[in-house]
Amino acid sequence: MRFLLFLFLILLVSGSRCAAQCYMRPSNKYGCVENRKLYHFGVVWKTKDCFRCECQPHTMICCSLVFRPVNYDRENCIALFHQKTCSMRVVWRTDPHRLCHVFTGAG
């Protein structure tokens, strides 16, 4: 069991370095605490800063729901974060109604 947990942690960390942003915290004997709220084991929730969290018996795992643009024209374009929809749009600095082309992203 410990080996599987160790393997899972290695895969999670290596995967999160490539694509998604994740973090982990230890749970206690009652569940997981996030922003002073207790979540019981097996519960999945979305945080106000756009993370999907899951409470497991030994760990709370939270990963970002936001696709983050990585490769785009940073000189002429800007990425805008929309918290309500947990999304980002890349638009022209001179015309925010026009979308810029995004070549790659993470998340």
Average pLDDT of the chain? 84
Lowest mean pLDDT, pick from 2-16, 22-36, 46-60: 2-16
CATH number at residue 35: 2.10.70.10
Nearest-angstrom CA–CA distance, 79 and 73: 10
Q: How confident is the model at residue 11 (pLDDT cuts 50, 70, 90)?
A: very low
Expressed as residue numbers, the domain containing 10 is 2-64
Token pair listed for 37: 């709220």
Same domain, 101 and 72: yes
User: Is the pLDDT reported for residue 41 higher than 90?
Assistant: yes
Say how far apart CA 19 and CA 68 lie, in whole Å.
9
- 25 and 72 in one domain? no
The predicted model scores a pTM of 0.66
Q: What is the per-residue pLDDT across 54-83, written as a single tens digit (0 to 9) for each?
A: 999 999 999 999 988 989 999 999 999 999
Are both 91 and 57 inside the same structural domain? no
Instruction: Give the residue-averaged pLDDT of 37-53.
Output: 96
Q: How much is the average pLDDT of 47-58?
A: 95
Q: Which residues are bridge partners to 68 per DSSP?
A: 106
**Predicted confidence band of residue 20 (pLDDT cuts 50, 70, 90):** low
| Residues 31 and 55 placed together within one structural domain of the fold | yes
Domain containing residue 88: CATH number: 2.20.25.590
